[in-house]
Amino acid sequence: MSNKVEASTLILRVMLGITFFVHGFVKFQGGIENIVGWFDSIGLPGFLAYGVASVEMIGGAALVLGLGSRIVSALLALLMIGATVKVKLAGGFLGNGQMAGYELDLALLAMAVFIAINGSKMFALDQIIFKGQKTETSSFLKN
């Protein structure tokens, strides 16, 4: 990838990571039991709130650091699909006056999918930790 693309991807990766980290942190800080109750009220098992908040917080931090960016981004993309379909779709693209729309969810989904497909190597700890190691996946993707 060119340096311009890598720099752009770095910006997306860090901003996506910060956004998800903050969302996950707030779920725990505000009382995860409130989120558990809300999940129950919309027909989802309450225990999923712990998983969602953990993936957001830990995954967000991992993205900022550049650890497992492709895998983490794929998980975050799945969260965004779930949030859009289960919660936000009924409110419309821009919302309905009672709840927010799904426009932000789609933007975050697009960012996550881009990073899941392309990866992000610039200033990524993965590049330091696995320097010089060639994986079968990366060899396969180059062919």
Phi, psi (5° rounding) for residue 94? -105, 0
Given this model, what pLDDT does residue 132 score?
65
Phi, psi (5° rounding) for residue 4? -65, -45
Given this model, what pLDDT does residue 30 score?
86
Phi, psi (5° rounding) for residue 142? -75, -25
Measured distance CA(69)–CA(64) in Å, rounded: 9
Which residues of the chain, if any, have pLDDT below 70? 1, 132, 134-143
Given this model, what pLDDT does residue 130 score?
84
pLDDT tens digits, 112-138 = 999 999 999 999 999 888 886 755 445
- pTM for the model stands at 0.87
